[in-house]
A = this chain, B = another copy of it.
């Protein structure tokens, strides 16, 4: 945003009801009258406000950027992250219509994004903590990564189209900075944002910080992340960005979208399945986690090569 946006107001549940009522195509999707709608805040991620609005005919999910990190108001942040999430959905939805959500509405003044409601879905991270999940979920994520990255890469399109999309997403610098700092820098150094409750981790943390070869490798990966804009990435494809039912899987929260190496989305997913494995009580479900990684990779490779 070049200039402060005086019209911006943070919505509450009543504001969401009024806002949806004013958008005919959204109101129609809910059906009934606004007074009959159920609106509840379900903000679960770290950054934004999220509301579900449901009526007799259906529901929508409304996401609004705050001028700061939701869970840390002292961490100021520009509002435009929902712009990039909306732009990401517009780019990839046609290629993965059954694996993410359609952008139903984007408001560039209030930085509100509206997508279909997934109120019957569970966050994959939660599902994995509760017990075994359908391993097909990983196959579907392999499809998602292959199709969304191939379609936005130089393998699918003249370079001019790819460059124009890169120009757009290269502005998503606030969230890319978070990736660079919180994923690719801070964990390997002493930083005030690093803390851990378990004293038995201290030895592991010190070993990582003392390992020059590992740190050089992370430096190279950080440079690779920033220097290889192969395709449009989701950029935050952990198990908290995936919602599932037994037979449906949707990738959400594309606000970190940026051009980068295709391996970044694939690596984040695999790494988060591994984290889930190590955090599960005494390694139960380890065959599930290993199956998920194999299924993901096989499907990703097969789909990508078929598209090529």
**Which residue from B155, B176, B180, B229 sits with its C-beta under 8 Å from A229?**
B229
Q: List 26 A-B contacts (CB under 8 A).
A: A154-B223, A154-B226, A154-B227, A155-B223, A159-B173, A159-B176, A159-B177, A159-B180, A159-B226, A160-B173, A160-B177, A162-B226, A163-B170, A163-B173, A163-B176, A164-B170, A166-B166, A166-B170, A167-B167, A167-B170, A167-B171, A170-B170, A227-B228, A227-B229, A227-B230, A228-B228
Q: How far is the CB of A14 from chain B (nearest CB, A)?
A: 38
Chain B residue with minimal CB distance to A161?
B173
Interface size class of A (residues with CB under 8 A): 20 to 34
Chain B residue with minimal CB distance to A231?
B227
Residues of chain B lying within 8 A (CB to CB) of residue A166: 166, 170
Given contacts A159-B176, A163-B173, 7 further A-B contacts (CB under 8 A): A154-B226, A159-B226, A167-B167, A167-B170, A170-B170, A227-B229, A227-B230
Q: How far is the CA of A98 from the CA of B207 in the complex (A)?
A: 48
Number of copies: 2
Interface string of A227-245 (1 = CB under 8 A from B): 1111000000000000000
Q: How far is the CB of A132 from chain B (nearest CB, A)?
A: 39
Chain B residue with minimal CB distance to A261?
B227
Residues of chain B lying within 8 A (CB to CB) of residue A164: 170
Interface string of A144-183 (1 = CB under 8 A from B): 0000000000110001101110110011010011001000
Q: How far is the CA of A192 from the CA of B162 in the complex (A)?
A: 27
Q: How far is the CA of A262 from the CA of B13 in the complex (A)?
A: 53
Q: How far is the CA of A305 from the CA of B277 in the complex (A)?
A: 43
Residues of chain B lying within 8 A (CB to CB) of residue A176: 159, 163
Q: How far is the CA of A160 from the CA of B173 in the complex (A)?
A: 6
Q: How far is the CB of A143 from chain B (nearest CB, A)?
A: 23
Chain B residue with minimal CB distance to A180?
B159
Q: How far is the CB of A32 from chain B (nearest CB, A)?
A: 45
Q: How far is the CA of A160 from the CA of B166 in the complex (A)?
A: 14
Residues of chain B lying within 8 A (CB to CB) of residue A163: 170-171, 173, 176
Residues of chain B lying within 8 A (CB to CB) of residue A167: 167, 170-171
Chain B residue with minimal CB distance to A226?
B159
Interface string of A176-217 (1 = CB under 8 A from B): 110010000000000000000000000000000000000000
